[in-house]
Chains A and B, each alone.
Chain A
């Protein structure tokens, strides 16, 4: 019961922030997808341009598969899904680092923890709220894609097909969120945890993208969660990487919960490393 109360209030109070991420994502889908009609019409002119690009530049639009941008599935995966994990990864960094430590640093958690709720209850309530926040944003993103497809003359995907890459987006976002959550509980401040996770998101994106052109980077890219993101999943999702990322997120959540239960609540302004 208390888990539900904490969950409900956490979700409702962050609804404005959630919509702040969800509505732009919806608009992005609505705007981006109908442009495929232009791409399809001008395919003969665009294809030689793509072929003429240097491997490094090409690596940011799919590398060897860059020309697939001219197909409906390739267009959606490269023009839309390629940077969604970065965008939502940054959301995960902010949401995860702020899940507990945001209120702790503001001093709000002091009063809240004087109520008859255990630390585990508070943790689960807030984690559930964060997961639902990610789900809400994804739902808006999916709706945007669906509207975009309906507006386009050349795209023909079902809602079921469009949701498949979002399973992967969800797993990657949840990984970064739980990673930031764990860091926030051991690092001196929320901002340092959010910043570190943000750098990992961006560095992961760059390394994963460049590894298509620079084979030496492949060994580094395997450590980036973005490598396991499946932008092309509309015709079939490989469940194993999704499952792997969800398992890692579960492990990070358990570690974060144990840390939260064991440590002192910080006084406003107090901070320090505590592993």
Chain B
């Protein structure tokens, strides 16, 4: 499929900050009109990826496009199509809310539709326009960021932990606004480390670990209780993907860098899979029902992180 068919497309995207690797061969395709979740802890590379999309930083290598446009070459065009809410929102402290909103609408071209929507959103989020930014709470500052991101009805919304610092009532309003934007045809890229939020908001989500995507799932697929995640550690021979073809209900989801540990997804009965495993020398076997939390923690388990550390040392 052509990359122009996707809202976001990245291939082997790598970013170094000096000697620190922030993104490593990140491959991602986000469809137009979907809400895509980006799940990972702090430092996993979520913000770095979003900043590359807006050409705030440039990739070290790899390819990236937004609606088929290269951010380095078409940054202004891309920014016109995007609304962005930074993870760590910082605003000019010495101006009033009204002053700032006016500045943002002017930078968006100052059309009356944008200004009208901005003030409607302020009203909806109960944002007082008169105080200076320095006198606002974290949550109220976040509301300004939400207004700034949504006011021009962008084609692509890049939301980096949008509900951070908000009270539950306003969180609910924000989630509603996100769904409304989707209904209007916007694509939403939603970075978060809150499982419930990813579950309730997104259509698909990716788990990011150490700058790479380790898994992409449909959110609806994870609500099925009959889906089980099996993590197996082997001694000696390990199964390969061809061996697994005989099992129609088992998929290899991830192979760890120690090359002896694997995660499988089993749908329905476990009996055929257990028979299959008996052919190998299995050292450890862990099973979890497939929820977002379980899936996430399976990639962030201690043994897994140790494998990564070993990998980094050998590099």
List residues of chain A with CB under 8 Å of any chain B CB: 2, 5-6, 9, 13, 16, 103, 106-108, 110-119, 264-265, 267-268, 270, 272
B84 sits at the interface (CB 8 A): yes
CB distance from B110 to the nearest CB of A (A): 8
Stretch at the interface among B87-95, B220-228, B275-283, B286-294: B87-95
| B88 & A108 in contact (Cβ 8 Å cutoff) | no
Which of B17, B18, B76, B108 gathers most chain A CB within 10 Å? Answer: B76
Report the nearest B residue to A107, measured CB to CB.
Answer: B90
Which residue of the partner chain, among A16, A111, A117, A272, contacts B18 with CB atoms under 8 Å? A272
Residues of A near B47 (CB, < 8 A) are 267
| B90 & A2 in contact (Cβ 8 Å cutoff) | no
Which residue of the partner chain, among A117, A264, A268, contacts B107 with CB atoms under 8 Å? A117
User: In residues 138-177 of chain B, which contact A (Cβ within 8 Å)?
Assistant: 145, 148, 158
Which residue of the partner chain, among B51, B94, B107, B158, contacts A265 with CB atoms under 8 Å? B51
Q: A2-B107, A270-B17, A272-B18 are in contact. Are A114 and B76 (CB under 8 A)?
A: no
Residues of A near B76 (CB, < 8 A) are 116-118
Residues of A near B95 (CB, < 8 A) are 13
A-B contacts, CB under 8 A, total: 73
List residues of chain B with CB under 8 Å of any chain A CB: 17-18, 47, 51, 54, 56-58, 75-77, 79-80, 82-84, 86, 88-92, 94-95, 103-104, 106-109, 145, 148, 158
| A107 & B86 in contact (Cβ 8 Å cutoff) | yes
Residues of A near B80 (CB, < 8 A) are 116
| A110 & B90 in contact (Cβ 8 Å cutoff) | yes
| B89 & A114 in contact (Cβ 8 Å cutoff) | no
Residues of A near B82 (CB, < 8 A) are 114
CB distance from A30 to the nearest CB of B (A): 29
| B57 & A107 in contact (Cβ 8 Å cutoff) | no
| B54 & A114 in contact (Cβ 8 Å cutoff) | yes
Would you give 16 A-B contacts (Cβ < 8 Å), ordered by A?
Answer: A5-B103, A6-B107, A9-B103, A13-B94, A108-B91, A110-B88, A113-B56, A114-B54, A114-B86, A114-B158, A115-B108, A116-B109, A117-B79, A264-B57, A268-B88, A272-B18
Residues of A near B103 (CB, < 8 A) are 5, 9
Which residue of the partner chain, among B18, B77, B107, contacts A115 with CB atoms under 8 Å? B107
| A111 & B17 in contact (Cβ 8 Å cutoff) | no
| B17 & A116 in contact (Cβ 8 Å cutoff) | no
Cα distance, A264 to B72, chains bound together (Å): 11
| A111 & B108 in contact (Cβ 8 Å cutoff) | no
| A116 & B57 in contact (Cβ 8 Å cutoff) | no
Cα distance, A118 to B18, chains bound together (Å): 25
Which of B54, B90, B109 gathers most chain A CB within 10 Å? Answer: B90
| A111 & B89 in contact (Cβ 8 Å cutoff) | yes
Residues of A near B79 (CB, < 8 A) are 113-117
Cα distance, A267 to B83, chains bound together (Å): 19
